[in-house]
Structure 1
Amino acid sequence: MATDNRNALRKVSLDDKYALDTARAYMTGIEALVRLPMLQQQRDRRAGLNTAGFISGYRGSPVGGVDQAMWKAEPWLKRHNIHFQAGLNEDIAATSVWGSQQTNLFAGARYDGVFGMWYGKGPGVDRSMDVIKHANAFGTSRYGGVLAVAGDDHACKSSTLPHQSEHMFIGASVPVLSPANVQEVLDLGIFGWELSRYSGCWVALKAITENMDSAISADIDPDRINIVMPEDFQMPADGVHARWPDKPLEQELRLNKFKIYAAREFARVNGINRLVVDCPKPRLGIITSGKAYLDVMQALEDMGIDDVVAAEIGLRVYKVGMPWPLEPRMTHDFAEGLEEILVVEEKRSIIEDQLTGQLYNYPVAARPRVIGEFDEAGRDLLPNLAELTPAMVALAIASRIRRFYQSETMDQRIRWIEEKERSLAQPRDTIERVPHFCSGCPHNTSTKVPEGSHAFGGIGCHYMATWMPDRQTHTFTQMGGEGASWIGQAPFTDTRHVFQNLGDGTYFHSGILAIRAAVAAGVNITYKILYNDAVAMTGGQPIDGSLSVGDLIRQVAAEGVQRIALVSDHPEA
């Protein structure tokens, strides 16, 4: 009975989030990604379009629970003609989404268009750039469009590296949207699909841990967003959308001469970048985006800077929803009359680099000073490491405000922030518990190696073996590269043999290619394929296909592996 009650409560909760007649719903950022395609299909239906949606990607923090949320919402997705297909890996998923934009090139299409969503963790963005670059050049369909959701773990809380995906998308000429909160995941998501349809580009939507894990009461009215189509932008005679046949140089022409500029114009007329604080005589401007915008607003509040004080300072704040490509006309309007601009953005510069280029041709006397990562003397100002905090931002703003404004009240607040930061920076005795395997997990024993041997790590739960002194597991590779590092070491060392841990989820994702490479290179390596029939580290999802122990053994035997041993607590099973 208790289980039935829990199921009933969960069903009510899902009804609240996904029912058609709901105006508001309490949801996380992950759940917002599920509701988003439903909103798009509702909007299309009201506009007289018969569209469908296709979603594919691969799990990984901070978008590790997207697939589970999609599966739970399957009945609601089906009502909106939305098909979710978990990807075998990120680049296959991206190729599948690319295919959705080709549906209407051929006879038999049942819908006016298919809008697509791809999702992947930062490393998945990296490995999928070949697909994304091709697909973006190829273009989207007129009533389709693609949203590429990039899960960025800025603080490396659940990753092997801190991740920032914007520069990868810039390299592929994909516009980037940066939501500040869960509501903007929905709002900018709708803008993103409409932008993709208008410009013919894939559009990236940045999904960071704070937004995916937090929850709000969101406005999910399909008519909340009003889309304005640019009237003055001149498109090429044959448009910017996908077609066949299509020559590569013609794709390049459309992308570099039209599509990117169409995206900028769309952002301008729809106010995706906007002033949020202004005053009659501005002198100091702050330009910011995404989570950093919330840090700025919190910092201003902590320093006691309201609209009245902001006017006394001469403060102007510009919130950028599309950090790349940075739309120049509104940016120039923001910069007009300012003496100095402080750029507040997390990680490596994106806005700052574009801003300095856009202001370069200003008359020297009218050109505002631009600072961000560094001040005008080259000293560190806002770090490009880990994450920003409101306190970091407050201290950076305070250091610039003093040129324009003095106030004992504000100075007291700044001193309080400085004292708090000094207190938090004091060394403290802490007890650290190294994460370990779950009770009963077979990795507890399977990651041990014989005395005198050592193993390599990889992506998955067994990565934790690299932290355990009794496992003799050292270094790791990217997902799917497990064992390939030994190919580059074996010819140059007296060590004759190594072990390589490999989870069954990674094996199915891409790891079988590493085994094939090791066989082709003829190196002496033992792969310990750790089979638990789940992608355990991201939530225990099933592998995206069929993989029994027998299947796995037959596959590696067919690859030419010389010896295979099956080790199990229950070999009879």
Structure 2
Amino acid sequence: MTLRDVTLDDKYTLESGYAFMTGIQALVRLPMVQRRRDFAAGCNTAGFVTGYRGSPLGVLDQQMKRAQGLLEEHHVKFHTGINEDLAATSLWGTQQSNLHGEGKYDGVFGMWYGKGPGVDRSGDVLRHGNLAGTMPLGGVLALLGDDHTCESSTTCHQSEFAMMDAMIPVLNPSGVQEILDYGLIGWALSRYTGTWAALKCVHDTVESTASVDVDSSRLHIATPTDFMLPEGGLQIRWPDTPQEQERRLHEYKLPAVLAFARLNRLNRTIWDTPDAKLGIVSTGKSFMDVRLALEELGIGEARAQRLGLRLFKVALSWPLDPEGLREFAQGLDRIIIVEEKRGLIEPQLKGVLYGMPDAPRIVGKHDEFGALLFPSAMALDPNHIAVEIGQRILEYVADENLKTRIAFIQELMKPDLTPEPLVRLPYFCAGCPHNSSTVVPEGSRAIAGIGCHYMAQWMDRSTAGYTQMGGEGASWVGEAHFSKREHVFQNIGDGTYYHSGFLALRSAVAAEVNVTFKILFNDAVAMTGGQRMDGPLTVPRITQQVMAEGAKCVAVVTDEPEKYRHETGFADGTVVCHRKQLDEISRKFREVLGTSVIVYDQTCAAEKRRRRKRGEFPDPKRRILINEAVCEGCGDCGVKSNCVAVLPLETEFGRKRTIDQSACNKDYSCANGLCPSFVSVYGGRLQKSKPTTAGTAAFRDLPSPELPAINGTYNIVVTGVGGTGVVTVGALLGMAAHLEGKGIGILDMIGLAQKGGAVLSHLRIAERPEDVHVPRVAAGAADVIIGGDLVVSGGHKALSTVRKGHTRLVVNSYEMITGDFTKNADWFFPNLELKQGIEHAAGVENTEFLDATRLANALLGDAIAGNLFLLGFAFQRGLIPLSLESLEQAIELNGIAIEMNKTALLWGRRAAHDLGKVRKTAFAGAQVPDEPTAPKSLNELIDHRAQTLVAYQNQAYAKRYRSLVERVREAELALDAKDRGRDPLRQSGSFSKQPLTEAVARYYFKLLAYKDEY
């Protein structure tokens, strides 16, 4: 097989053919392409990109910085904003750069980005900038990051109506290809009309990946020549008046937008059927849902013609060009409008068709009888869309195949009322500062804010309620006047403080309310990927600022007070103390009248880990371990630390605790319980398992699997936990498909996954790029699930893609503990229940479980290789429609741990060929860990415990133990004999029929051998 010649820079540098990229990377590519197009046209332009991060655009700034060299080569300046509205104001400034004859370029094109709440707070400047206008070779593209279902936000968001109110045109792409196309169209529209242009960005588009056509000649954008322009044109000017700006916008700019849209056929009929009676209109993410729904109904363009169906795609969702839609509506009896969230197209379309002879009926948010059809709350379900479309088609055409498909989809839609055995909620990372910083004294209450510390609300932290970003503390200004409570703590992250939160602190000072602001200085924006602060913010500077604003007292609480021993920049009166004194300081400050401030200074644990790997952060020589022979399993270390690196350890003597050294970030708060089982080791290094080469000769003749055929699309779902490489597996599969010239669509469902939450990646592979219309895998449509985590694989989201008897599952059986264990010392992992649920959904014959994590760790010395091990297993089982050559080439292109990942893939293949042999190789000379040892007989249990007590103390101590146990056994046997007299079928003397004796044997021993002298 001949593979494509690919480099990782193709996504930015390739000018013809197909490039593999994410939606975010397409946004990074956009300004480079615009500069190239301008340069080719003889124009010397520059670009300016600014905004403020937030999902689904949370990593845009990271990607921009990684491509900074290429951006600078293309005269594009990237600048992270302090907040969204100031960033938008700076973009307004770029359009003024030539007004005074001082410009360096022919024009500056700008890109602004912000998530939905940032759009809201920037409404004032967006309106002002749009009224003022753009330069002829400039233009502004505003990226609207909308989180429709509040996966990583505090509100479900839709920004189109804010744009409509500011009179900014909105483009709504359906996938990565259209992000590239519509972005360039947006700048061209902005230049011609003098308006800003908005590009709607949702999870399903910007966090998806595809093989995209980047040919520079494929997109032809025309400019109207017959539109009557006003005197002076449509662009920005000076002098200008607000009244003239409004008149120009209403009477000329918006009509110019419609003329531009009409000329370039932005809104157009995708499937045309001359005698159609039913039409569908949709846009953006909803259009992808419609395409997926039609796929599930078995309807392509040819079948749509036979069924009398038309399909219309809206690119410019506001303002809506009427001409194309009037033409589309001709002869139709009914139009179905499918749009997620509030209806934007529907009221516009009704206005367009009002009064038209024989106008079709329109259904959208409500059906023909006024009942709710496509709700505006949350997201639309492609299955629901399919059923509603299918049932309406059947009103015009009899089609048994369609009827059967609708019935199948309805069966899939029946709600699964079975509660999930376990849900993997996001949680604080191991060693996270918030584990300690969010604790408040008994009797106090705290209010949450924006950032990772928001998660304190579902932990034992007496924390409830939150505000919008930057409003932290202002809600108490209102509540305080009407509450019996005298004081609250207000958590606020350092990023939020710098963004706008200091104004809320100023407000609290002015209102003279009693509040202690806890400014959580973590030196990173951990929620969106660990970015550095957007400006020169330091702990001493914060103390100076808050004292200048009127704080009554300030304390700096830190895990490293010694680093401030010679610091002279603190405000007068600032107290610096160790974090062990947090409770003492908090109790003192809650008695202060007015505003007080605690700056909690400890670096983000995840960022510490990253910087230590790069050699940029001190790595303490101390490691903490737990001596399981001394540990009594009380769980106080978990309570004290709230740390997910404290794990249960099941032993012969019951449940103990152990520290997961691979997850530990050396916070040490687990040792605060003063437990004698804790051992500190200084200077020692972890002894990792060394990759094994033993026994590899037995696998030399590994057969090549028969690859599955691709019928339309081949659908794969990868599940796992954030930070374990789930997204990497999807990216490798995607790159392998791209190398083979196949079509690929990937949708990464991440949310708060980087905080230990669930991750699901949907992949759809086709023979040609144009055959992948949607990256999402429909309900019941998965061909294979590669389950990197048992909990996520057994959840409703993963199992909803399973079709019993068809979908194959390969699932990691390793028990990765959730955050629940920090709160409940007796919590048990529901392994059997999860496995049974998966087997019930897919069928036992289609499901395979293996402990990929332990096997990968034993064979390769690193548990992180478990997901590549699973991929190799699935490949050898004939479940991956890609060649081994392309998979290995994708690993090499990725450039990270190449040999380990290729070897993990190989060992996974070997395991699929002969799992028993691989297990023997992995655990040679050790007990195979998958199966627990069988319980001892009662006599063996008593003998074992007695011998242990001899070693613990002496023979007399052991005799004391045996004496009580034997007395209990005699009494239980006597009772058992009486019971046998009443019930002849009852048998005695077995291990399981002497529960009282067994309990005394176990727990009297525990009492006698208790180690915790503290």
TM range (shorter): over 0.9
Map of 1:5 onto structure 2: none
Query: Within the alignment, does 1:494 sit opposite 2:484 as a pair?
Result: yes
Q: Secondary structure at the match of 1:444?
A: helix
Query: 1:52–1:113: 8 Å Cα contact kept in structure 2?
Result: yes
Match of 1:85, SS state, is strand
1:382 maps onto 2:374 in alignment: yes
Aligned mates of 2:418, 2:84 — CA distance in 1? 41
- Looking at structure 2, the residues matched to 135 and 381 of structure 1 have their Cα atoms a distance apart, in angstroms, of 38
Provide the residue aligned with 1:462 in structure 2.
453
Q: Structure 2: how far apart are the matches of 1:221 and 1:211?
A: 20
Other-structure match for 2:633: none
* Whole-angstrom CA distance in 2 between matches of 1:21 and 1:497: 61
Aligned residue runs from structure 1 range 23-38, under 5 A: 23-38=17-32
Secondary structure of 2:9 counterpart: helix
Q: Which has the higher contact order (CA 8 A, sep 6+)?
A: 1
- Find the counterpart in structure 1 of residue 418 from structure 2: 427
Pairwise mapping of residues 133-532 of structure 1 onto structure 2 (< 5 A)? 133-363=127-357, 366-422=358-414, 424-468=415-459, 470-532=460-522
Please state how far the C-alpha of 1:20 moved relative to its aligned partner: 5.5
Indicate if the aligned counterparts of 1:43 and 1:223 stay in contact, CA closer than 8 A.
no
Equivalent residue, structure 1, for 2:751? none
Report the CA distance shift for 1:266/1:474 in structure 2 as closer, same or farther (over 3 A).
same
Q: Which residue of 2 aligns with 1:101?
A: 95
Deviation at 1:19, TM superposition (A): 2.2
Q: Paired residue for 1:6?
A: none
In structure 2, distance between residues paired with 1:166 and 1:15 = 33
Structure 1: which amino acid aligns with 2:154?
T
Tell me if the contact between 1:153 and 1:208 (Cα under 8 Å) persists in the aligned partners. yes
* Aligned twin of 1:7: none
Tell me by how many angstroms 1:432 deviates.
2.3
Cα distance change on mapping 1:13 and 1:509 into 2, 3 Å: farther
Say whether the 8 Å CA contact 1:26–1:215 is kept in structure 2.
yes
Note if contact 2:96-2:236 (Cα within 8 Å) is conserved in structure 1: yes
Q: Which one-letter code corresponds to 1:545 in the other structure?
A: G
State how far apart, in whole Å, the 1-side matches of 2:13 and 2:351 are.
47
Aligned-partner Cα distance in 2 for 1:99–1:51: 15
Query: Relative to structure 2, which stretch is displaced further, 39-48 or 486-495?
Result: 486-495
Deviation at 1:525, TM superposition (A): 0.2
For the residues of structure 2 that align with 1:137 and 1:108, how far apart are their CA atoms?
Answer: 23
Q: Secondary structure at the match of 1:43?
A: helix
Q: Which of 78, 81, 87 is the aligned partner of 2:75?
A: 81
SS in 2 for 1:513: helix
**Over aligned residue pairs, what C-alpha RMSD do you find?**
1.2
8 Å Cα contact 1:382-1:396 kept in structure 2: no
Supply the distance in 2 between the matched residues of 1:260 and 1:21 (Cα, whole angstroms).
33
Hey, what does 1:67 align to over in structure 2? 61
Q: Check 1:548–1:13 CA distance in 2 against 1; reply closer, same or farther (3 A cut).
A: farther
Q: CA deviation at 1:405?
A: 1.0
**Secondary structure in structure 2 of the residue aligned to 1:541:** coil
Q: CA deviation at 1:125?
A: 0.4
Structure 2 letter corresponding to 1:437: F
Which has the larger displacement, 407-416 or 309-318?
309-318
Q: Which runs of 5+ in 2 are unaligned?
A: 1-5, 564-1014
One-letter amino acid matched to 2:544? R
Between the aligned partners of 1:210 and 1:231, the Cα distance in structure 2 is 37
- Looking at structure 2, the residues matched to 22 and 278 of structure 1 have their Cα atoms a distance apart, in angstroms, of 30
Q: What aligned pairs does 1:14-29 form with structure 2 within 5 A after superposition?
A: 14-19=8-13, 21=15, 23-29=17-23
Give the CA deviation at 1:402.
2.0
In structure 2, distance between residues paired with 1:384 and 1:400: 21
Q: Verify the 8 A CA contact 1:303 1:410 in the aligned structure 2.
A: yes
Moved more, 318-327 or 231-240: 231-240
- Aligned partner letter, 2:393: I
Matched, 1:545 2:535: yes
Would you say the 8 A contact 1:16–1:22 is kept in 2? no
In the TM superposition, residue 426 of structure 1 has moved relative to its aligned partner by: 3.3
The one-letter code sitting in structure 2 at the alignment partner of 1:465 is A
Aligned to 1:9: none
- In the TM superposition, what whole-angstrom CA distance separates every residue of 1:103-149 from its partner, at most 9, and x where no partner exists? 01012211000000000011110100100000000001110000000
Distance 2:425 2:267 in 1: 44
Deviation by residue 1:22-49 (Cα, 9 ceiling, x = unmatched)? 6432110000000000000000001110
> How much has 1:21 moved relative to structure 2?
4.9
Partner amino acid, structure 1, of 2:402:
M
Output the amino acid matched with 1:426.
Answer: L
In the alignment, the residues of structure 1 paired with residue 366 and residue 15 of structure 2 have an alpha-carbon distance, to the nearest angstrom, of 50
Asked whether the equivalents of residues 121 and 150 of structure 1 are also in contact (C-alpha less than 8 Å), the reply is: yes
8 Å CA contact retained: 2:289, 2:382: yes
Give 1:430 shift: 2.9
- Tell me how far 1:516 sits from its aligned partner: 0.5
Percent of matched pairs sharing the same residue = 54
- What do the CA deviations read for 1:229-281 (whole angstroms, capped 9, x no partner)? 11222111211100111111100001011111111111111011111111121
Q: Does the CA contact (< 8 Å) of 1:312 and 1:405 recur in 2?
A: no
TM-score in terms of structure 2 length:
0.54
Per the TM alignment, residue 13 of structure 1 is displaced from its structure 2 partner at its CA by 5.1
Q: Would the aligned equivalents of 1:55 and 1:84 in 2 still touch at CA under 8 Å?
A: yes
Is the contact made by 1:456 and 1:499 (CA closer than 8 Å) also made in structure 2?
yes
8 A Cα contact 2:23 2:206, kept in partner: yes
Equivalent residue number for residue 4 of structure 1: none
CA contact (8 A) 2:21 2:209 kept: yes
The one-letter code sitting in structure 2 at the alignment partner of 1:172 is A
For the 8 Å contact 2:16–2:216, the answer to whether it is kept is no
Contact 2:16/2:213, CA 8 A, preserved across alignment:
no
**Residue type at the aligned position of 1:36:** L
Whole-Å separation in 2 of the counterparts to 1:566 and 1:301: 59
Between the aligned partners of 1:23 and 1:87, the Cα distance in structure 2 is 35
Match in the other structure for 1:91: 85
Please, what TM-score do these two structures have when normalized by structure 1? Answer: 0.96
**SS state of the match for residue 528, structure 1?**
strand
- Structure 1 residues 484 and 184, CA, compared in 2 at 3 Å: closer, same or farther? same
Q: Which amino acid aligns with 1:89?
A: N
* 1:14 positional shift: 4.4
| Distance in 1 (alpha carbons) for counterparts of 2:424 and 2:18 | 41
Give the 3 Å change call, closer, same or farther, for CA 463–227 of structure 1 in structure 2. Answer: same
Can you list the C-alpha shifts for 1:131-185, whole angstroms capped at 9, x where unaligned? 0000000001110000000111112111111111101100000000000000100
Taking the aligned partners of 2:64 and 2:341, their CA distance within structure 1 comes to 30
Partners of 2:8 and 2:124 in 1: how far apart? 37
CA distance in 1, matches of 2:425, 2:285: 30
Select between 47-56 and 288-297 the one with higher mean Cα deviation.
Answer: 288-297
8 Å CA contact 1:26–1:218 kept in 2: the answer is yes
Question: 1 CA distance for matches of 2:12 and 2:403?
Answer: 48
